[in-house]
Amino acid sequence: MTLLGLSLPRMDKNRWYWTCQVLGWATLMSVTAYFYISRFQVGAPFLLNVMLNIGLGISLTHYYRKYALLNLWLSLNLDKLVVRVIAAVVLMSLIMTIINIPLDSITVPEMAEIDFDNAMFIRSMFLWGSYFAIWTLTWHLYVLYDQLVNTQKERLKMQAILKESAFQNLKSQLNPHFLFNSLNSIRAMVDDEPEQAKDAINKLSSLLRSSLSLAKSKTVNTIVELQTVKNYIELEKIRFEDRLDFHYHVEDKTVYLPVPPMMLQTLVENAVKHGISKQKNGGFIELKSVVEKGEHVITIRNTGQLPTDVEGRGYGIANTLERLRLVFNGRATFNLVNDSNETVLTEIKIPLYESDYRG
């Protein structure tokens, strides 16, 4: 349990309540007893006075708590709640004052000699009222804090459920999209290049098995994603042959850093579809994964130019942006620009934490 940034031992709320009740009233009555002892001559019977007041304080406030919960006071508007709390504090103070007038006379002999007038009655009411006001304020603030914590937990739980649902929905879009493009490529080879088509089907089968196993995870190691990209490139090289040149550089310290599964494959696929395939002589794709200034920087540079229309860039970009946001809680950045008159640069930056490294 955490309260105001302090870590408290784990204890059931009911035990915490009774522990605080006993310790709180015992401390309060001990302070009051010290005041009496410093002014009056008291004997053993006064201990009974102290114990009885501790019991009464616990009983009255416990009954208040029980009554307030039973009658749903916590759901009332503030103005209605305040009226009820003030009435309850006055009533509890009146009960304690009425009981303590004869109790003090019996247990503190000197008190029996004092005429108990209206002023003393009011002072006693005010004293007990302040005690009960502090108790009720503390309890209501704790209940409010507890409700806020529970609401926050429920909100975070709901966000996690929605986030997981959105993430799974995004992943479910990837495989059909990739499969559709790959099958179109194979279909184009079936009549003219049947042997190559068979080879392509085998490679596609291997790649799909890999993608289905990866779909169970929110992230995969960069080295695993790189292998998926390499499998995809091998499949596309059947169609493009020498027109597709792929090379990569992955720093050793980035191989175990997390990335969303199939994300790099989707971006490389976009590079092939919107870049390489539109060039008569084909082109190149260069993938880099490095650590720079506390960030995992992934760049994909390819031959081509960005389409002028947004839709022409494909759904993969929007999908990638959303997946990065969900997986890395908005910490990652994505940038897609024309790097020169002949190339496009895709850059992803993911801030690192020590836990991102395999130790």
Q: Residue 1 in 3-state DSSP?
A: coil
Final residue in a domain of this structure, among 118, 138, 156: 156
176 assigned to some structural domain: no
The pLDDT score that the predictor gives to residue 1 is: 45
Same domain, yes or no: 27 and 140: yes
Q: What confidence tens digit (pLDDT) does each residue in 321-339 have? A: 888 888 888 889 999 999 8
Count of domains for the chain: 2
184 assigned to some structural domain: no
Q: What confidence tens digit (pLDDT) does each residue in 164-214 have? A: 555 555 555 545 555 676 777 788 778 877 887 887 788 778 777 766 666
Per the CB < 8 A criterion, the answer to whether 278 and 242 are in contact is: no
Where in the sequence is the domain holding 279, given as residue range(s)? 218-224+237-356
318 assigned to some structural domain: yes
d(CA 127, CA 124): 5
Final residue in a domain of this structure, among 102, 128, 156: 156
Q: What confidence tens digit (pLDDT) does each residue in 123-168 have? A: 889 989 999 999 999 999 998 888 888 888 877 775 665 565 555 5
| pLDDT confidence bin for 28, thresholds 50/70/90 | confident
281 assigned to some structural domain: yes
What's the pTM value of the predicted model, to 2 decimals?
Answer: 0.52
Same domain, yes or no: 17 and 117: yes
The pLDDT score that the predictor gives to residue 321 is: 87
Mean pLDDT of all residues in the chain?
81
d(CA 343, CA 299): 12
33 assigned to some structural domain: yes
Distances (CA, A) of 148 to 39, 112, 154, 235: 45, 50, 10, 54
18 assigned to some structural domain: yes
Lowest-confidence pick of 1-5, 202-206, 254-258: 1-5
Lowest-confidence pick of 13-27, 213-227, 273-287, 338-352: 213-227
The pLDDT score that the predictor gives to residue 359 is: 37
d(CA 68, CA 88): 10
Return the residue matching tokens 């099958």: 183
Phi, psi (degrees; rounded to nearest 5) at 126:
-65, -40
117 assigned to some structural domain: yes
Same domain, yes or no: 18 and 122: yes
Final residue in a domain of this structure, among 117, 139, 156: 156
| DSSP single-letter state for residue 246 | E
Average of per-residue pLDDT across 33-53: 77
Question: Does the pLDDT value for residue 4 go beyond 60?
Answer: no
Residue 310 sits in a domain whose CATH number is 3.30.565.10
The pLDDT score that the predictor gives to residue 172 is: 54
The pLDDT score that the predictor gives to residue 46 is: 78
The pLDDT score that the predictor gives to residue 290 is: 96
Q: What confidence tens digit (pLDDT) does each residue in 82-126 have? A: 999 999 999 999 999 999 888 877 777 666 666 667 788 888 899
286 assigned to some structural domain: yes
